[in-house]
Amino acid sequence: MDFETFKEDLAKSVKEKLDVRFGSDTTVELHKVDKMNETYEAITVKPEDSNIGVNINVSKAFQELENGKDFDAIAGQVADVAANALEGRPDFNLDAISDYSQMKEKLAMQVVSADRNAELLESVPHKNMEDMAIVYRFVLDSSEEGRSSILVTNKMLDNYGITAEQLHADAMAIAPEVRPAVIQGLSEVMAQMMGAEQAEMLGLGPQADEPIFVATVEDKTQGAGVLAYQDFMSEKIIFDYFYNHETDMVCFYRIPKFLVTNDRFSKMKTEAKMLYGLLLDRMSLSRKNEWFDKKQRAFIYFSQNEAMELLNCGETKTRMLFGDLERHGLIERKKQGQGNPDIIYVKNFVEKDRGQTDENHGSGKKVRNFNKDNHCQTNGKYGSEPTKNDGLETQIPRGNYNDSNNTELVISPIESMENDEDDEYDAYAELIRENLSLDLMKQRYPMDSEDIDGIYDLVLETVLCRNKTIVIASNEYPTKLVRQKFLKLNHMHMEYVLGCMKDNTTKIRNIKKYLLAALFNAPTTMSGYFAAEVSHDMAEYAVKQMEG
């Protein structure tokens, strides 16, 4: 069965099941859903007596069919997910939504990638900001129970009879009140994410001399919007001089000087060199988690979306930067398929005598392997003493400084790298957030946002655990084993665990122990489980009905 046939048959089957369940005619349609940072094929389900519908991602269902799951089982599960979502749907006042004088007091701003959302931006009012774009939303609700908002479209502006300039001016004045900016020290944010008990153990919390701060909004939803607030940076951030050893308190990304000083890399884009520094930083996790292939070559996981966010650039440019690194031989990517992220080998620098044999190179006798303390592994040539190799060099002399001018640059796989304890938390937090597709999950399941945050916190807390063993479901497992399993969890495992919680009919006495066991066993017990991706942006569906 091909995808087009599957969609049609699935829509018919879901409609039949829902008509029986609701005892009335249910509208089931197929269409493409375009959202900021996301586009997918969907089944839209709407009861006969309502303007509110839900969207269910069809692509995931088709993947389950290809993996061997029975069609009737898939249709039944999609129908159950749709019915549960519709039975808990909120009520919206369409009259209020069509009145700008009422809605403008709910205005907020969202900052998105202009390149990635170019097509969708054509239908919504927006303002360019570097390679990003500001779009506008009406915030209907934001609480522990969930969050909902409406994306403002060009058609809505026409109905309101206002211009994009007026909308932007109103948003600049109102958004900081609807979603006030919050600046917290990184230690405080870490303490909130890890929980009081773990934070106390690690001595985390507000610090008088906090060197790093995080800017966001109170509910942590679309927090990048604060970048658009007028005079935000100048009002909130005060820059001071460095005194004495204060630079030791700041965390840095390191970029090898060779990328700047060697003519071989003179045409490489500066952003590509920065990306290489980010990839090197991620290497600190490889040794700790023993991410080595059969040849003992270290590798990392680093998605394109993560690079886009950290470098603040669009999808096309990010692809070019990765390509630039590959062309210069600095990285090697290996695709895994099945929607899994690429394995990335980050290459190391050594300087090799042109006349040296492969045997000598393999033994390391004539290879200068530079480390981060600016010492080389051979004697005397540059006046340095032999030292323990601490990883990748951040300062490598130019090849033409050699008297015989008989050296060449060799880029080889990095075998290992010392773990930077100061950056461990940040690295794991970013990796797990990416693995679980946390932001996307919270957009898809806003009503489950609190549970999603709880699962993320538990996974991060478990991965950071320093104990030798961890007790799960009364069984004691080596922490290393648990960490490896938790670092392989993805958004589908999270969806599975959320589904198990909802389907559980007995009282859960200890939610933390329950989740710990469910997450640990998820890769084994899920076995073909399909958790449909439901879009709870029901308000936007209602607006489309209003626009006709």
Nearest to 273 by CA among 251, 288, 257, 287: 257
Rounded Cα gap, residues 2 and 14, in angstroms: 18
CATH for the 258-413 domain, from 1.10.8.60, 2.130.10.10, 1.10.10.10, 3.40.50.300: 1.10.10.10
**Six token digits for residue 364:** 């390391």
List the pLDDT tens digit at each of the 548 positions of the chain.
888 899 899 989 988 888 888 777 778 888 777 666 667 788 888 776 666 667 788 887 888 888 788 898 898 888 888 887 676 655 556 667 778 888 888 888 888 888 888 888 888 999 888 788 889 988 876 544 445 678 888 988 888 889 999 998 888 888 888 877 777 776 676 666 555 665 565 555 555 555 566 666 666 566 666 677 766 555 445 556 666 555 455 567 788 888 888 888 888 888 999 999 999 888 877 777 788 888 888 888 888 888 888 888 888 788 889 988 988 889 998 887 666 778 899 987 654 444 444 444 343 333 333 333 333 333 333 333 333 333 333 333 333 333 333 344 455 555 444 444 445 677 788 889 888 988 888 888 888 888 898 899 899 989 988 888 999 988 899 999 999 899 989 888 898 888 888 877 677 778 888 899 999 988 877 654 433 333 334 444 444 544 45
Token reading at 512: 């933390």
Burial category of 277 from C-beta neighbours within 10 Å (exposed 0-12, middle 13-18, buried 19 and up): middle
User: φ and ψ at 125, to 5 degrees?
Assistant: -65, 140
Are 279 and 302 contacting, i.e. CB atoms less than 8 angstroms apart?
A: yes
pLDDT per residue as tens digits for the range 6-37: 989 998 998 888 888 877 777 888 877 766 66
* Confidence (pTM): 0.36
Domain-wise residue ranges, the chain: 3-89, 258-413, 436-525
pLDDT in tens, 237-247: 555 666 655 54
**Six-digit token string for 213:** 């701060």
Question: What's residue 90's pLDDT?
Answer: 55
Q: CB under 8 Å to 400, separation ≥6 — which residues?
A: none
Distances (CA, A) of 169 to 152, 164, 216, 391: 14, 9, 21, 51
What is the pLDDT, as a whole number, of residue 239? 58
The confidence score (pLDDT) of residue 537 equals 44
Question: Count of CB atoms within 10 A of residue 269's CB?
Answer: 14
What's the one-letter identity of residue 530? Answer: F
The CA distance from 332 to 345, in Å, is 5
According to the model, what pLDDT value does residue 80 have?
84
pLDDT for position 455? 93
Report whether 409 contacts 351 (CB < 8 A). yes
Burial tier of 270 (Cβ tally within 10 Å: 0-12, 13-18, 19+): exposed
Evaluate the CA torsion angle 163, 114, 446, 232 in order and state its sign: negative
Residue 63, token pair as written in the block: 């993947």
Q: Return d(Cα 52, Cα 42) in angstroms, integer.
A: 15
The pLDDT value recorded for residue 483 is 92
Identity of residue 464 = L
- E strand residue ranges, 24-72: 26-35, 38-47, 54-57
CA distance 288 to 75: 43
pLDDT, residue 125, reads 93
Distance CA 352, CA 359 (A): 12
H/E stretch holding 351: strand 343-353
Among the listed residues 102, 120, 103, the one whose alpha carbon sits nearest the alpha carbon of residue 112: 120
